[in-house]
Structure 1
Amino acid sequence: MTVSAGIILAGGQARRMGGGDKGRLILGGQSMLDRVIDRLGPQVGRMALSANGDAARFAEFGLPVLPDTVAGFPGPLAGVLAGMDWAADLGASHVITAAADTPFFPTDLGSRLREGARRAGTPIALAATIEEGRLVRHPTFGYWPVALRFDLRQALEDGLRKVVLWTDRHGATSTVFPGDPFFNINTPEDYMQAERIIRTTAE
């Protein structure tokens, strides 16, 4: 039995980057999506991409592409739901999600989220950091039980869109990671900063 499946949330429309798939941007000679796959792959049994539109544009990555199953582009929770449904067919008990525009997330993300959920006795764990003394959650990085997929589908069909509103209903815990590993690329300035990070770490 596959315990955890990995879902890369790649459904954003990248308006601030001029549109298109941010995951296809090249960072340090490698696509951002390849960097995410390299980080998440060793942490899970199987992986898939959550994305709408023509799946053929992701053919080079060799992963299943999961479109939303709820109409209206309701956001990342729809990607989580599509991942849960796919993982259920595999016999997986949980999915671990990561965003396609966040190339430096921790290589121990999955194990720490699982442990966080176990210690808290809660079904869901979300990644978090401490910024200026304040807890900041990163809800696209989470550990989600497949068993909640029916509840999530109903919530989406009822109009819920904000991730933390749904996770709070289920007592989600926050697993705190040090530093700023969930830096994501939303703007051209972010892209240049990511290039600088890669150059610095390669030196």
Structure 2
Amino acid sequence: MNLMTTITGVVLAGGKARRMGGVDKGLLELNGKPLWQHVADALMTQLSHVVVNANRHQEIYQVSGLKVIEDSLADYPGPLAGMLSVMQQEAGEWFLFCPCDTPYIPHDLAARLTHQRKDAPVVWVHDGERDHPTIALVNRAIEPLLLNICKQENAGLWHLCVWLAVMRLISAIVKRHL
């Protein structure tokens, strides 16, 4: 897989930031540059196509020249909605999602996740202590699952993680009995 051309990089900046009092986290500065720009810059060193998922202050994000994609679901229900919206509007097969408040992503994140994914449709970062499912390499094949989960009330990212774990378990059981 040619990482530069087969994976679309996505900066997830579409949240409401409720825990931060509604402040647009992506626009907070670190070393004189907005957080989201650190993430976009890191992705652009690894991938040839990068977009931003943002629901507020879109004009600020657009100044970068990157395509800005708004959630297709009302009320910005969370990162799953951002992931789904990007998949609905972009043509790629693989997407590397990174939240706007992760300015120190590794320079080889795309390569690492691609290496780890094997045949999985999704692989996300684990830092040795906990999962970070919003930093994830995701295949378009799960778009229908994302849509289904997003339609459920109070559904979130962990619902997707559970579904994917169940699907892998079922697949492993089926393979053992073939």
Residue 146 of structure 2 corresponds to which residue in structure 1? 152
1:28 is displaced (CA, Å) by 1.3
Closer/same/farther in 2, CA of residues 18 and 166 from structure 1, 3 Å limit: closer
| Counterpart AA for 1:6 | G
Report whether the alignment pairs 1:43 with 2:46.
yes
**1:114: how far off?**
1.2
Are 2:143 and 1:162 equivalent residues in the alignment?
no
Q: Contact 1:10–1:51 (CA<8 Å) still a contact in 2?
A: yes
Q: How many residues align?
A: 164
Which of structure 1's runs of 4+ aligned residues deviate more than 6 A?
none
Which residue identity lines up with residue 106 of structure 2 in the other structure? P
Summarize deviations over 1:138-188 as a string: whole Å, max 9, x none: 011001111221221122113362213213312389xxxxxxxxxxxxxxx
Shift of 1:3: 0.9
Q: Is the 8 A contact 2:8 2:94 kept in 1?
A: yes
Q: Distance in 2 between matches of 1:17 and 1:81?
A: 24
Measure how far apart 1:9 and its partner are.
0.5
Matched position secondary structure for 1:43: coil
Gaps (5+ residues) in structure 2?
A: 169-178
CA distance in 2, matches of 1:24, 1:74: 20
2:17 and 2:25 in contact (8 A); partners too: yes
Which of 56, 64, 72 pairs up with 2:67? Answer: 64
Query: Is the contact between residue 10 and residue 97 of structure 2 (CA under 8 Å) also seen in structure 1?
Result: yes
Asked whether the equivalents of residues 94 and 137 of structure 2 are also in contact (C-alpha less than 8 Å), the reply is yes
Give the Å deviation of 1:59.
2.3
Determine the C-alpha separation between the residues in 2 that align with 1:130 and 1:54.
35
Q: Which amino acid aligns with 1:97?
A: F
Query: What is the aligned-residue RMSD (CA, Å)?
Result: 2.1
Identical aligned pairs, as a percentage? 32
Could you tell me whether the CA contact under 8 Å between 2:80 and 2:157 is conserved in 1?
yes
Q: Who is 2:104 aligned against? A: 104
